[in-house]
Amino acid sequence: MTVWPAPIVKLFMNQMMPAAVLAAADDPDPAKKNGQTCEANFYSGELSLTKGSKDEAIRLFRWRQAIARTVSTNGMPPMLN
């Protein structure tokens, strides 16, 4: 299980750390990389919330939001991502 979004699944199965998921989001296609990076940050933030790490979750959500504001990751206007 290596193809995206498998790293997200592994994150929630405690088989990958958030930093490894972020590294796995890398892709030669800039649009795909940005989309996967947004997903990595969002789901890492969600996991942080479940573990009570509110400050880390906020940091990750803000990072995700900053990426989404600059790039459309799924064909929708950036602010709707």
What is the per-residue pLDDT for 71?
A: 58
Q: For the chain, which residues make up each domain, given as ranges?
A: 30-81
- CA distance to 6, 15, 26, 69, 81, per residue, from 78 (Å): 24, 31, 20, 5, 5
6 and 15 Cβ atoms separated by less than 8 Å? no
The model's pTM is 0.80
DSSP 5: T
Euclidean distance between CA atoms 42 and 79, whole angstroms: 15
Three-class SS state of 30: helix
What's the pLDDT band for 69 if we cut at 50, 70, 90?
A: confident
What's the pLDDT band for 2 if we cut at 50, 70, 90?
A: confident
* pLDDT tens digits, one per residue of 9-61: 999 999 999 999 999 999 999 889 988 998 999 999 999 999 999 999 999 99
